Every structure is written in C-alpha cells, then in structure tokens.
Amino acid sequence: MIKVSVMYPNSKDIVFNKEYYCEKHVPLVSKLLGNVLKNVQVDFGLGSGEPDTPALYIVMTHMTFDSIDAFQAIFSVHSEELLSDIPNFTNSQPQIQISEVLI
C-alpha cells in the first residue's frame, strides 16, 4: 500500500478556496481516479509545532493506492485535467510525496 501526499505550501500570500477544493476538486479527483483510489483524506493546516506559528502547509491531501504503478497509470491518464483545475482554488504550487504505508 502506498500513500500519495499532495501538499500545498503556506505563506502570507497564499490564497486557498477550501469550499471549491472540498466540493469540486476532491470529488473530481475521486471520480477520475475511480476504484484505483482506495482512500482520500484532506487536512487543513492550523499551526506549526511552535505556538503562534503558521502551518508549513495550508492543505495536505493524502490518497491511498495499492501500488506506485497503479497510481502512476491512472494519474497519467487524468493529470492534465486535474492539474489544470489547481488555479481554480489556489495560487500555491503543490508538492507531491509518495510513501510506503507501514502501519
């Protein structure tokens, strides 16, 4: 099992439309990736480890897949449509990390 984390870096100039992201973008992701996508979780950053410091990422979305190959195969088919939707909800440039789920 692997986890694909899409992380949107935070800064004072970042704009992020949570409503659009949750009501339009994430359902689009779920629809296009279909049953290859096993689970999706969206986290909105509230703060950092130190009091009164902003979160490093304004949003982190974690998606679970059976394998890297499964993710890459389905994402390559729909990447253009998914990536072109990003300006509709943020000016942050996402970072992607693929991790092995151990527990």
Radius of gyration of the chain (CA): 14
Confidence (pLDDT) at 41: 98
- The ranges of the chain with pLDDT < 50 are none
Confidence (pLDDT) at 24: 98
Confidence (pLDDT) at 98: 98
CATH of range 2-100; options 3.20.20.70, 1.10.260.40, 1.10.10.410, 3.30.70.100: 3.30.70.100
Confidence (pLDDT) at 90: 98
Lookup: tokens for 6: 């899409």
Confidence (pLDDT) at 37: 98
Domain ranges for the chain, please list them. Answer: 2-100
Confidence (pLDDT) at 11: 94
Helix 26-33 and helix 68-84: axis angle, to 10°? 130
* DSSP state, residue 16: B
Confidence (pLDDT) at 27: 98
> What is this structure's pTM?
0.94
Lookup: tokens for 76: 């390559």
Confidence (pLDDT) at 62: 98
| Beta bridge partner(s), residue 62 | 5, 41
